[in-house]
Structure 1
Amino acid sequence: MPQEGGAELGISRDQDKGWAWVVLVATVLVQGLTLGFPSCIGVFFKDLQHDFQASNSETSWFPSIMTAVLHAGGPLCSILVERFGCRTTVMLGGLLSGVGMVASSFSKSISQLYVTAGFITGLGACFSFQAGVTVLGSYFIHRRALANALASTGVSMGFTLWPLLSQYLLDEMGWRNTFFMFGGVMLHCCVCGAVMRPVPVKLPAPSLKSGPGHLAEDVHLSNGNALDQQVHLHRSRCDACIQTLQKYLAFDVFCKNKGYRIYTIGVAWMVMGFVLPMIYLVPYAILNGVEERKAALLISITGFINIFMRPMAGLLSGLRVFTGRRIYLFSVAAALNGLSNLICTISAEYSILVLYCVVYSISMSVLGALIFQVLMDVVEMDRFSSALGLFTILESITILIGPPLAGLLVDLTGHFSYVFYTSSFFMVSAALFMGFSFCTMEGKNKLTEAHKPTPEKPSRVKYAEVPTQLGPEKNCSPAVIYVTSM
């Protein structure tokens, strides 16, 4: 009992004040170093393509693997956080990211770059970023929304600074030395992780009648023969595997919750086109005569506008008029984002490309501010963590295959403009699918409700607002949350 009292004192002393703000600054830096990093890959696209004599499709696998692993590593990160804690996981991620970038500077082929900078660096960035978000939720309770909003500015700052730094170092020392330097920069995640000391929390007592350990104990205490013991042990392992899958990947929610199923499929289809401009915009501008530094500035413009627009989009979505309608605001933003890609196909003049970046970044800010809020609206909060795990896994698959397919299209046609047509198709079609599907689903729910007596409980598949804040009496250790770079 004295230990529990000490834990409660630790919570009241550390959370929402004092050292929590130091952790917030560290989280901002981690987000800028990790999620902002893939934005600069387009700067190196032509140099990598030239040095390795690779096609557009082969070269685009490198940023695709990095971004996909960054999204898909969430469940693995959750396991590491539960076993070793957030501080160790963030520092491990920084070490992996640094080693991956240093090793990539010695790559002899594009396939080696897939492993070093793509897989190792992407996995390290995933560990650092998502564990940093998790520890932020431990340090902030009453001001958690404000803390997450401030932390998200790190992504926008990374989008702004990484391309400018990349282009400068590329001009001065080439891509290999630049990647070597980036290895040292990514190691700063270890410094940020070192300040994320764990917060004492009061954890629920483990049940004595659950889990594979108890089942195994029952096996040893039973009086059955050896065959029965093997059967029971096999069943216990299967039960443990099923429980693990339900904990981190909500297949049951995907099958039962129609709103979650529509939204997951729609976003997975959407991101196949969403990531294309960030990879191909700089090569497209350089190919059409734009100076390399001015071309890199285009990505920085997008990130700079995101710094201001993303908090505004979050405030806009919180207005009462959008209560229960955020999915439609999200769909409109996705359609606008897709249609903005057609601006690039009209002309490749620098002023037109700047206009494109402004429109693109505004819609991108709305998507980034709403993507998880909409997911909270369609999934119960007690299953949000596992639902988000499956959500990011499916999302990473389409992120992985989207850029290489677009690169193959460029190789076959010889025109970069087809990349932006493709991006527009995926974005607009996903927006229409989500908007019309939710509209149809709500219409059917209203008809069903009209023919029923007053229901005791709301339908679980109906798109409705779900409370996202716990009451004071329910303050507890937050679940691991997987967050994407959108």
Structure 2
Amino acid sequence: MNTKEDPVAETSRHLEHTEKTRLLSTSRSVDRGLRIGHPKAASKARKLLVMLSCVMQLFICNGIGYGLSVMYAELVVVLDAKRADAALVQSLNMGLSAGAGILFAGFIKKYGPGICIVVASVTSSIGLFVSCFANGIGLIICFTGVLTGLAMCVCYFASFVTISLLFYKDPGFYLISMTCGTSLGQFIIPLFFEIFISQYAWSGAFILLSGLCLNCLQFGLIIHFSRDFFYKGNVQNNKSLRASAFCDVSLLTDYLIWILWSNCFLLALTANVEAWFIVDHAVSIGLTRESGSLMVSAVGLGNLIGRIIGSAIRLKCTKTPTVYHWIYLCVLTAAIHLFVPNVGEVFPLILACLATGIAMGTTAAQAPAIMFEASGLDRYPQGMAMVNVMYGIGEMLGPLLGGMVKDLLGTYDLIFYIASGVSAYMSVSTIVAAYSIRRRVLWTLPIKRFGIGLCMLWELYWDV
């Protein structure tokens, strides 16, 4: 009796898994023979320690970049700097820390993520420390914006590499959980900025922040001394992966992928306008800087809540394409952007910032799954790498353009209205993307099944 499973059914289920797989499910890839040997088995305590080390990398790196919105309002006043120039500090720092990691991927692979984090933490600390001696905004742009931003991108990117190497059998859950460090940093570190500036002025705050960055060093050492437990793949296969990592022409000719990349760019460009400008906006309408700092922290808290909600939505709505959720989330975000410039009291603005953080966190948490559903298993690494690049470019340009609008018009109202319009456009373009993904699932899969069926019939004919 032939107990072998029907190849057509088996292939069909594989195709369905490819179209609607769970986020970053890489266990099958590992099981297909990519390994040349199992690494040492890590204990639960070591896994937890490495996990916490990676969470702290995101906590510090993203938190400092996010908290620069508090420093932005202070530098405008103390150094009498143009808002466009002061915004360049944060835009460069956040943009480079998010999107420049691809430049250092070779170093991380060659020397290991732990050593790279150690070097990067010292470099980022130097950049912040030198900024305290600045007499103008230019030195701060160079050292905090560029040097510290480039160093932080190494810590940020190496954390994802570390998790994928240690939890190589199924890293998806751990990668999602690790991103909570970003939201925690965005919630807590802006409060540190406010305390440091209030007690030690802006120059003393840079010194204390440089010490905070050095905490990445000890966690980098923990990661480095756990390297024996990291997954090492087949050397020949890794060479082929490196050769094709950024050369998939089909991505560049796929209009659906470009729609999603554009939406990711627009999300990074406009979704954070409250976080970037709410402190200076609060001061400009007669509120205190302290209340503005609370609003920034409210965005960070909402971001954490939103990421948890986004993960829950992804786990519960497994049969619904993830991109569908962006349609109503973008409409909700557009409504919140419209609300902010039309209120002038502290408590409503704090609630608006909390709602903004929830909407943004929920939206951003689903981006990796959306890209997977659009690109498929084979093209996912390249597609997600470009998503990070789009995020970096958007976060670099957003504060700069917003500061220029404020310098020209003297108010931030137009920025919030533009952000609302962009969110509405993203909802419409997401409908187009959702239709395209649905058409691929409904038409591509039956066509592939039909082709496989013909091949099976041909083989049966020759067997007879």
TM-score interval for Structure 1 and Structure 2 normalised by the shorter chain? 0.7 to 0.9
- RMSD between aligned alpha carbons? 2.7
Question: Aligned partner of 1:265: which letter?
Answer: S
**2:179 partner SS:** helix
Q: How far 1:118 sits from its partner (Å)?
A: 0.5
Q: How far 1:116 sits from its partner (Å)?
A: 0.3
1:252 corresponds to: 249
1:97 and 1:147 map into 2 onto residues whose CA distance is 26
1:42 paired to 2:72: no
Q: How far 1:143 sits from its partner (Å)?
A: 6.1
2:421 corresponds to: 425
| Residues 354-433 of structure 1 aligned to structure 2 (within 5 Å) | 354-433=350-429
> Where does the alignment leave 5 or more consecutive residues of structure 2 unmatched?
1-34, 453-464
Q: How far 1:70 sits from its partner (Å)?
A: 1.1
Alignment check: 8 A CA contact 1:36 1:158 kept: yes
2:275 corresponds to: 278
Q: How far 1:448 sits from its partner (Å)?
A: 8.1
Alignment check: 8 A CA contact 1:32 1:155 kept: yes
1:456 corresponds to: 451
2:353 and 2:400 map into 1 onto residues whose CA distance is 23
**1:40 partner SS:** helix
> Where does the alignment leave 5 or more consecutive residues of structure 1 unmatched?
1-5, 212-242, 458-486
2:344 corresponds to: 348
2:335 corresponds to: 339
- Aligned counterpart in structure 2 of residue 289 of structure 1, from 278, 286, 289: 286
1:305 paired to 2:308: no
Which deviates more, 350-359 or 249-258?
249-258
**1:195 partner SS:** helix
- Aligned counterpart in structure 2 of residue 114 of structure 1, from 123, 141, 144: 141
- Aligned counterpart in structure 2 of residue 203 of structure 1, from 211, 233, 250: 233
| Residues 232-251 of structure 1 aligned to structure 2 (within 5 Å) | 246-247=244-245, 249-250=246-247
| Residues 110-149 of structure 1 aligned to structure 2 (within 5 Å) | 110-141=137-168, 144-149=171-176
The change in CA–CA distance for 1:56 and 1:205 in structure 2 (over 3 A counts) is closer
1:157 corresponds to: 184
1:148 and 1:426 map into 2 onto residues whose CA distance is 29
Q: How far 1:453 sits from its partner (Å)?
A: 8.6
1:14 corresponds to: 42
| Residues 53-202 of structure 1 aligned to structure 2 (within 5 Å) | 53-141=80-168, 144-196=171-223, 197-198=226-227, 199-202=229-232
1:461 corresponds to: none
Alignment check: 8 A CA contact 2:75 2:86 kept: yes
**2:80 partner SS:** coil
Which deviates more, 94-103 or 47-56?
47-56
2:263 and 2:410 map into 1 onto residues whose CA distance is 30
2:270 and 2:342 map into 1 onto residues whose CA distance is 19
2:134 and 2:450 map into 1 onto residues whose CA distance is 63
Per-residue CA distance 1:164-191 (angstroms, 9 max, x = gap)? 1110110111111101111111011111
Q: How far 1:207 sits from its partner (Å)?
A: 7.5
Alignment check: 8 A CA contact 1:34 1:128 kept: yes
**1:184 partner SS:** helix
Per-residue CA distance 1:336-355 (angstroms, 9 max, x = gap)? 22221111122121121022
2:176 and 2:448 map into 1 onto residues whose CA distance is 42
Q: How far 1:359 sits from its partner (Å)?
A: 1.6
TM-score scaled to structure 1, two decimals? 0.79
**2:366 partner SS:** helix
Alignment check: 8 A CA contact 2:268 2:391 kept: yes
2:235 and 2:56 map into 1 onto residues whose CA distance is 35
2:365 and 2:231 map into 1 onto residues whose CA distance is 29
Q: How far 1:125 sits from its partner (Å)?
A: 1.1
Alignment check: 8 A CA contact 1:7 1:200 kept: no
Per-residue CA distance 1:421-450 (angstroms, 9 max, x = gap)? 122122221222122343256458857888
1:275 and 1:57 map into 2 onto residues whose CA distance is 16
Q: How far 1:403 sits from its partner (Å)?
A: 2.1
> Greater share of helix residues, 1 or 2?
2
Percent identical among aligned pairs is 16
2:150 and 2:418 map into 1 onto residues whose CA distance is 28
TM-score scaled to structure 2, two decimals? 0.82
The change in CA–CA distance for 1:102 and 1:373 in structure 2 (over 3 A counts) is same
Per-residue CA distance 1:385-407 (angstroms, 9 max, x = gap)? 22222232233223322222222
2:20 corresponds to: none
Alignment check: 8 A CA contact 2:295 2:349 kept: yes
**2:451 partner SS:** coil
1:110 and 1:190 map into 2 onto residues whose CA distance is 28
1:91 and 1:285 map into 2 onto residues whose CA distance is 38
2:115 and 2:444 map into 1 onto residues whose CA distance is 51
Per-residue CA distance 1:180-235 (angstroms, 9 max, x = gap)? 11111101111111001212534314389x88xxxxxxxxxxxxxxxxxxxxxxxx
Question: Aligned partner of 2:95: which letter?
Answer: A
Q: How far 1:148 sits from its partner (Å)?
A: 2.6
Q: How far 1:356 sits from its partner (Å)?
A: 0.4
2:52 corresponds to: 25
Alignment check: 8 A CA contact 1:77 1:127 kept: yes
Question: Aligned partner of 1:384: which letter?
Answer: Y
Alignment check: 8 A CA contact 1:253 1:260 kept: no
The change in CA–CA distance for 1:295 and 1:202 in structure 2 (over 3 A counts) is closer
1:465 corresponds to: none
2:302 and 2:441 map into 1 onto residues whose CA distance is 39
**2:134 partner SS:** coil
1:207 and 1:154 map into 2 onto residues whose CA distance is 33
- Aligned counterpart in structure 2 of residue 269 of structure 1, from 262, 266, 269: 266
1:143 and 1:125 map into 2 onto residues whose CA distance is 26
1:145 and 1:389 map into 2 onto residues whose CA distance is 16
Per-residue CA distance 1:26-73 (angstroms, 9 max, x = gap)? 111111001122221111222211233222222111111111111221
Per-residue CA distance 1:356-409 (angstroms, 9 max, x = gap)? 022212211211210111112112333322222223223322332222222222
| Residues 426-441 of structure 1 aligned to structure 2 (within 5 Å) | 426-439=422-435
